Chain A
């Protein structure tokens, strides 16, 4: 129970221990702990960032999808419109072509009619002249009435 020099030596030992801890123990472990804390914080932040980016990406992808759908719809509508346009135009062209063909046919028919009429007229004229000449063969001198016959012929023509 008596105070003696042990006190002083213990105090010296105590100071040396404190000095040792302050100098060699505390800073190193504290640094390790702080670095780990930083790492964990960084990791958590990165995770958070990743989550946010994922959210953003999914949002963007849905937007892109929506846009694509919209554009596809537009394209379909355009295509339909264009198809109907083409059909319409084809119809118009066909009508024009048909009319042209019709007109050509009509003109040909006219021409045929005309030429048929012409040949008929000639035939009728020939027949008429023949008939007339047969009738007149007896009474009419062909030579005497030749000019008359010719005039009839021209008239019939």
Chain B
């Protein structure tokens, strides 16, 4: 469990706090999406989860470890992994499997054990077949999956993804989102994803919306995206199909508002098309 209590943080260069009294509990096995416009504080929040940043006020605990406890930093970093936006900045080796082995090697593990972990991690993200390739020959989506495998090889309980698909094409986005979802549902890894893509957020169990360093919405995607007007005011968006339903409801057409996917909306619209006289 990650427990964030009254967390505040102010950057040296700013007067305004980037995080202003955040209280959140992330339970084991959850899949949480964090939304917010550029500068809302969501990346700052993410960086507190594995002590890249330390609180100016309040506390962050991950499985009982206080992130400010410098003596337990190595343990914390193994517990909470982080994947960033740009895969090119996260890959260090010239062969895929060597890159994935980088973390476990630094833990001083015996080589059979490293082999085991690397193979497992690569299979988990569907990159095992490409283990002997050079990262520069891979597509963006494949590189990002290698970066994720590097984190999995450390066997974290929690992974924080900071806009993991922002630099990828549609196919790469799909591949990476599939890998992330499988990590959560099959491996039970607690997942926090920061994203600007509303369709990605719609796939989470829970959405947290941050604005001016505060939690504004903390709810299921269905309920969170029902706040179409508020989200737009915060510089955010809802999935196109959700917006369509919202606007049709505004015209007095009886539709359920909490529909998120193309299939759900199609069913709902079909009902409306039959009902009207």
The answer to whether A binds B is: no
